[in-house]
Structure 1
């Protein structure tokens, strides 16, 4: 199964991706020559990790009719200073004191099912090539 996305270049350092009916916009910070009008592609990638874990946490709570008010996820991204490569991602699920203790570890297990995290761990193969349009 393949899902297709189209990447376009609207100007400057902006790069957009069309996914179905949605357009995801990215830009670079001013320090990298952009206008900082949208997240950078790397920050968007990092946000996908936390939002993916978040949808699993939200679904867990909704299934059990637990309120999500006061629940948030704090994400810390650690980059190796020598290589500049992402080395570790920490996700803390913050719950209010009223959140049932019996579900706290279950939240960790469900967030750990994040499809984005699993895709990274699987180390997919990347194939990049040039194709002449219309050929």
Structure 2
């Protein structure tokens, strides 16, 4: 997306399974569905992950359309995901569908597809990312 300095993200509990996510002065809430013990007041973290992907794709599509003088009216990005087999706690697959405005010339679609490939969230999800999970006050236990 942009090259601005990454801001820290902080998450704090609200009530029950609901949390507030704060970044750069903005707040997002996450929760769990009722059938999983939450109060269903907000999307789940996994839904936000998939939503971040869809939003990133929409951002790149919108910028592409603007550069080519095509209005964003009619642009929509829809994402669906499936969870991995029972016992695994990860997303197995994500399907993203981009609905383009009707006035986008068909010859621009290959270029749009290339631009959408530059989505930072997509590239992060499709390549291994280094992840360090640390418990404050306790040394990190690196494998090996």
Q: How many residues align?
A: 132
RMSD: 1.9
8 Å Cα contact 1:14-1:28 kept in structure 2: yes
- Unaligned runs of at least 5 residues, structure 2: 138-144
**Superposition TM-score, scaled by structure 1 size:** 0.86
Distance in structure 2 (CA, Å) of the matches to 1:34 and 1:7: 17
Hey, what does 2:74 align to over in structure 1?
70
Distance in structure 2 (CA, Å) of the matches to 1:97 and 1:120: 30
**2:15 counterpart of 1:11:** yes
8 Å Cα contact 2:70-2:103 kept in structure 1: no
8 Å Cα contact 2:65-2:72 kept in structure 1: yes
Distance in structure 1 (CA, Å) of the matches to 2:82 and 2:38: 24
Change (3 A) 1:114 1:127: same
- Unaligned runs of at least 5 residues, structure 1: none
Change (3 A) 1:11 1:89: same
**Superposition TM-score, scaled by structure 2 size:** 0.81
SS at match of 1:88: strand
Distance in structure 2 (CA, Å) of the matches to 1:117 and 1:126: 17
